[in-house]
Amino acid sequence: MTANDMTANDRLTVAILGPGGIGGLLAALLSRAGHRVICLAGDETAKTLRTTGIRVRSGPFGDFTAEVEADTELRETVDACLITVKATALDTALTRVPPTALGDALVVPFLNGVEHPRSLRARYGHDRVAPAVIRAESTRVAPGEIEHASPFAEIDLTGETVPHDRLNALAQALDAAGPTTRVLPDETAALWAKMSFLAPFALLTTRHALPLGDVRTRHREELTSLVEETAAISHASGGPADPTQALARYDAFPPSTKSSMQRDAEAGRPLELDAIGGALLRSAERHGVPAPVTARLVGELREAGH
């Protein structure tokens, strides 16, 4: 079966670049649903996955182990390649997926930020990149061990230049495997909807080294200003703008919630500061939107060595 023949009822061959918290969860769910899954990772991780599979602990999806294939590089054509690495590791990770090996597979990046689709299209082709957004808290606690902590996993799949039937077929396969999945017609709106929520949350929890509950009480004025600033940048960029709704969403989260950027800072890992804060500032400059709060926070985080 070629990628062009992909339909919702087919057994798909799916590559997962970066089988971490999100990638490992999706790999295990797709494998359990009967699809062939090839995880792409470093030597040791690939060896572990081939030997033990992926073990998942999840409220909504249960505790289970799924068998997967694993390699350090993609060596055959697949129906879809899900890119689930951090933005900071993207350039290095892409060497594992040579464009010639992909055939005409869909390339589906689950990446934070709004700038990655352009560079991926330059590498893999304009009509094959289908950006996705996932809402789930899932952590790799060890190679091949995934803890899915949130009571949900929701995916928005987009790609205005991708044939609609192929998007629908992949969306139905993902949905049947577990995560609630929908295809959205407006790629820009989908990416900016996540960016508008993620940027204030990530920047402030990381800058103040506090969970969301303390940020929204002790730094309420700063949070409100940043949310309004981000909404204005999103609106100018063609995305949604509803600062009141964004604040209400933050208020609804458990007070102990931490952003992934904050967790990276605590662990001494590289931060997605440029993919989130840097991209926000570049969009603001491009559209002439003042962004003093964003600029100050990004500057302070960079001065702190991030």
Residue 306: predicted pLDDT: 65
Closest-CA residue to 234 (of 203, 202, 196):
196
Report the CATH superfamily, name and number, of domain 189-303.
Answer: N-(1-d-carboxylethyl)-l-norvaline Dehydrogenase; domain 2 (1.10.1040.10)
CB proximity list for 4: less than 8 A, separation 6 or greater: 104, 166
Choose among 84, 150, 92: nearest CA to 112.
Answer: 84
User: For 128, what's the count of Cα atoms within 13 Å in the CB-facing half-sphere?
Assistant: 22
Longest dimension (CA), the chain: 56
pLDDT single digits (tens) 94-108: 999 999 999 899 999
The tokens of 163 are what?
């044939």
Just give the CATH number of 3-185. Answer: 3.40.50.720
For the chain, list the strands marked E by DSSP.
13-17, 36-40, 54-58, 64-66, 69-71, 80-83, 106-109, 132-135, 138-142, 145-148, 154-157, 180-183
* Cβ pair 20, 45 in contact under 8 A: no
pLDDT greater than 80 at residue 261: yes
Amino acid at 242: D
Q: What per-residue confidence (pLDDT) applies to 3?
A: 46
pLDDT at 5 over 70: no
Domain edges within the chain: 3-185, 189-303
With H, G, I as helix, E, B as strand and everything else as coil, classify residue 215.
helix
Residue whose token pair is 């929520």 = 197
How many angstroms separate the CA atoms of 171 and 187, rounded? Answer: 15
**291 vs 147: CA distance, rounded Å:** 37
At which residue do the structure tokens 């991209």 appear? 279
Q: What is the pLDDT averaged over residues 24-33?
A: 98
Mean of pLDDT values over 53-75: 98
pLDDT of residue 7: 57
82-97 residue pLDDT tens: 999 999 999 999 999 9
Asked if the model's pLDDT at residue 6 lies above 70, the reply is no
d(CA 57, CA 76): 31
The order of strands in the sheet holding 132-135 is 132-135, 154-157, 180-183
Q: Report CA dihedral (20, 40, 86, 11) to the nearest 10 degrees.
A: -80
Kindly state the percentage of the chain with pLDDT values over 90: 92
Give 211-229 pLDDT, tens digit per residue. Answer: 999 999 999 999 999 999 9
Three-state SS at 133: strand
Which pair of structure tokens corresponds to residue 201? 């949350």
What pLDDT, on the 0 to 100 scale, is given for residue 137?
87
pLDDT the model gives residue 259: 92
Asked whether residue 2 carries a pLDDT value surpassing 50, the answer given is: no
Instruction: Write the pLDDT tens digit of every residue in 136-179.
Output: 989 999 999 999 998 999 999 999 889 999 999 999 999 999 99
